[in-house]
Each structure stands twice: as structure tokens, then as C-alpha cells.
Chains A and B, each alone.
Chain A
Amino acid sequence: MARATIVGAGMTNFGVHERPLPDLFADAAFDAFDDAGVASPEIEALYVGNAMGGMTENDTHLAPTLASHIGCPGVPAQRFEDACATSATAFKHAVEAVESGRHDVVLAGGVERCTPETGLDTAAMTRVFVSAAHRQYEQPAGLTFPGVFALLTKRHMHEYGTTEEHLAEVAVKNHFNGTLNPRAHFGRETSVEKVLDSPIVADPFHLMDCCPFSDGASGIVVASEAAAESFDHPVDVAGVGHATDVVPLADKTDLPATQAARDAASQAYGQANTTADAIDFAEIHDCFTGAEVMATEALGLFEDGAGGPAAAAGRTALDGEVPVNPSGGLKAKGHPIGATGTAQLVELTEQLRGEAGERQLDDPERAVAHNLGGDAATTVVTVMEARQ
């Protein structure tokens, strides 16, 4: 029995948007409503993710603002903030709300602007992003978010022999997938040479190992299993795991393990009564190329240390044994922080329905989404299944 169902999915293009947060969110919400065939008054509650609007746009208390903007005034509405895992945790609460019987049909989603449309330049946004690292024990040393994942990845390279070329292959794959996704921020291919020739952001990461600063929104209409009967194209949410790890990162027992992902995956697979071997494809939080390598291992798709060589060998390509990030991932699709988690679920929904266009995989039945926040200290893993 599914914990919940997704009956509608929508998102904006990811990229650069002049439109402010309410209009961006409305575009994604209405795309999801139209996909589900619901009108605003049918939505019983709103679970919305926005990580940094208070810092970037002086915009807080967004939940009732957004509910009002999309024609859902008066419903219980709440905003979530868990760094880059913001909208996945919003989604988790939406699932629990319909699973418990509190509500039948709700909206989960996220919205964020990270490009210079906010008025902030690269140095200012780099400071905003690093607010998700420990204020007292990490920020004073001058750490950045690429630096956080560089510290995890360098240790992975030291322990397992992962190379910069392996990392670059992840970027090449995700850029190719992005060329097949009309909503992706980047629609052009790249090469290992171009990645390795791009400037260093935080070694081993070159600019082309890093996801872009993006604007965008995404939305998911979540319904209880009983309510799903009245919708045309429900997809089952079989498991949602949510775990955290120790902060700051120096206190983590095993840096490249990304333990929260392992714990969240174990929960999600258990709820779905499945294993990593039965996963047909994955959307993974590839904020940096090294993050995708570590996540493929933490999710059990590959043995520890095998993630880099697996990517380089094409095992995670669209035609590989377990395609990873068919959407282009954060690397090519883009990463509007608070919108990313539910955007991953848009891709899972479309692929499991067979509606993913040029990048459609061959009749997938079961998929996993991995959305992490901070120094991998928050991770939400979701298992979804096509309806038989």
C-alpha cells in the first residue's frame, strides 16, 4: 500500500527569472493543478519550501502570501527551510498529512531565486549559501559550500582513488541529459577536457563541476491513496525516509559516507519493501559532481568507492544499467535551492508515467529521489512506483 500518491506535477523552466517569488510559484502550482485537473479551492493545505528569501529578497512569511496568490487563502499553509533539502522536507510533511487522514489533497512545492536577479553578486550569494554551514565553527575559517563538498570529496578520492576525470564524467553525462530537457538551465553539452580546463572554485571542483545559481519553482499535488481514485494519472509514493547527520562536518564519523543518505535510504526502501537492486533510475542531488558519486554509493546503487568508475563507464547514463539524473540533475537542469526537492519528484512522476519526451527511459517501474541539505546533514530519500 502506498503512503500517498502524486496526482499532479509541475515546474517552471529553471534559469534566470525576472518574476518575483509569488508569480514564479504560481506558474509551477498552476502547472501542477492543471496536470492533476484540480482547481485552487480543492487544495486543503500548502507545504512550501523557500530556503533563503529572507536573506536574498527580504521576503519572509511566504506561506500565506503564496497561498493567497494562488487562490488558496485560509488553508493551513507553512514554509519549510532545510537548506537545499527544503522542498523535500515540505513534501514529506504533505505525505504524512494525507497518510494520516488529516487532508485528502494538498500542494507541496518550492520556490527560490539565486541569480543576480536578486541584486546579489557571486560573493554575496556565496556568503548566503554558506549560512547553511556552522556559523560558529565553520564560517569563520572562510569555508564555502563548494568547499564543504570539496572536503567530503577529497576524502573520498583519498580513500578510494576517485579521480577528477571520474568527477568530470558526471558533469558530461548530466549536461547531455540536460540537452533533452526543455526546462533545464543549461541546454548544451560539455566534455571532460572543458570541465578540467574550467577555473577552480574549490579543488577538486572546477566551475563545471558545480551546479549553477538558478531561479525557479516546482509543485506537486499530493493525494491520499483513497482520494487518488478520482484522478487520471496517480503515481505511488512508496517510501519517504528523512535523516540528519552531525553538524559541523568535522564531527562526522566518516566524511564520504554521507551517513544521513544511508539512513534515509534504509527507511525509504524499508517502507517500500524494496532494495537498491530494484531501482530503475534515480534523481540525485548533484550540487557538485562529487556529491553524485557519494550519493550513488550511499543509496546502494554501487559499492563504496565504485561510484566514480561507474559514472565514467556509462553505467549511470540514460542507456546505462541505472540512469542517474535523466533530467540533467542540479548540474544542468539548475538548482533554485528551495525548488529542487520537488522538481526531482516532477521528473520521477513524468518518467514513471512515460511522459518524459526525448529523455524518456524504457518503461521504468520504480525510482528513487535523493535531496540533501547543508553539509549532507539533512537528506530525504523518496521511493516512487508506477501504478500497475
Chain B
Amino acid sequence: MSDTDPSADRLDYVAWADRLRDGELLGQECAECGHTTAAPKAACVRCGSRTLAAVTLPTDGIVHSETTIGVPPEGFDGEYQVAVVRLGDAKVLGRIDGAVDIGDRVSFADVLVADDHPAPVFEPV
């Protein structure tokens, strides 16, 4: 066994969520293959490397896909729009404040907390 915690330097969910609550949207970049994600994991989803660095994602992006939820789950009040937003080399799922179509430019504007879990909120620019 290693005498150091192998996950000590990894951007895990708790750290990602804490930073998001503070208004900073972090991602993860693989040192081996360069893959970038907005959903930090324990290993690179493309090449399996565990050498992953936390990176600050761009705050401006493009709507990749979107839908307006008309029938929400328990704990949410409808209706509202969610979108997959492209931020540089990564894509992230977030809530939209306003109304957007695919291809529209949006900016990271706020954080929504649902059941103690944060989600990024974007607004049109």
C-alpha cells in the first residue's frame, strides 16, 4: 500500500461541489491524453490515466442541446430549461435562466442547489 493517500491531489466531487457553491466552475484535464471534462472522475474517461489536473473552465460557452422540462420530478417546480453547454473543450449540464436555442452564447451566472447538490446556472449573453 502507498503511504500517501492516492486521491489527495485529485479534484473529487466534494471539492468540485464546494468550489461550485462558491461560484467557480472547475473541470479536469488529463495529463496523458489531454481530455477535458466538466464532470470530474477518478480516472480519465478516455484513456484511464489517474494523472488528472483541476482546471478552471471558461465561463462563456455555446448551447449544444437544450430542453424545457414541463413535468418536473418531486422536489422541483416546473417549467424550466436545462441545457448541455459547451465550455471550451468540455461540455456541462446546467440550468438556463432565460430562454436559449442550440448555438446561442451563454455565460455562467449563478448556482442552483437542489437536495444539497449544486448545479451551474447559465444565462444568455
Given A136-B17, A151-B65, A151-B67, decide whether A142 and B114 contact each other with a Cβ distance below 8 A.
Answer: yes
What CA separation (Å) do A251 and B36 show in the bound complex?
A: 9
- Judge whether B39 and A251 touch: CB under 8 Å: yes
- Judge whether B69 and A152 touch: CB under 8 Å: no
Instruction: Please indicate the chain A residues that have their CB under 8 angstroms from the CB of B19 in the complex.
Output: none
- Judge whether B74 and A126 touch: CB under 8 Å: yes
- Judge whether A150 and B67 touch: CB under 8 Å: yes
Given A147-B69, A250-B38, decide whether A141 and B94 contact each other with a Cβ distance below 8 A.
Answer: yes
Assess whether A127 is interfacial by the CB under 8 Å rule: yes
Taking residues whose C-beta sits less than 8 angstroms from the other chain, chain A's interface range is 35 or more
**Restricting to B47-83, which residues have a CB under 8 Å from any CB of A?**
64-76, 79-80, 82-83
The prevalent SS among residues of A at the interface is helix
Instruction: Please indicate the chain A residues that have their CB under 8 angstroms from the CB of B80 in the complex.
Output: 142
Given A151-B84, A158-B65, decide whether A140 and B73 contact each other with a Cβ distance below 8 A.
Answer: no
- Can you list 19 A-B pairs, Cβ within 8 angstroms, ordered by A? A123-B73, A126-B73, A137-B38, A137-B39, A139-B114, A140-B113, A141-B112, A142-B76, A142-B80, A142-B82, A151-B65, A151-B66, A155-B64, A155-B102, A202-B71, A250-B90, A250-B92, A250-B93, A255-B84
- Judge whether B93 and A137 touch: CB under 8 Å: yes
Instruction: Please indicate the chain A residues that have their CB under 8 angstroms from the CB of B84 in the complex.
Output: 151, 249-250, 255
What CA separation (Å) do A331 and B39 show in the bound complex?
A: 33
- Judge whether B39 and A141 touch: CB under 8 Å: no
Q: Which of A126, A203, A204, A249 contacts B72 (CB 8 A)?
A: A126
State the A residues within 8 Å of B (CB). Answer: 122-124, 126-127, 129-130, 134-144, 146-147, 150-152, 154-155, 158, 199-204, 246, 248-251, 255
Tell me the smallest distance from the CB of B122 to a CB of chain A, in Å.
Answer: 10
B84, B90, B102, B112, most chain A CB atoms within 10 A:
B84
What CA separation (Å) do A122 and B74 show in the bound complex?
A: 8
Residue of A whose beta carbon sits closest to that of B39: A137
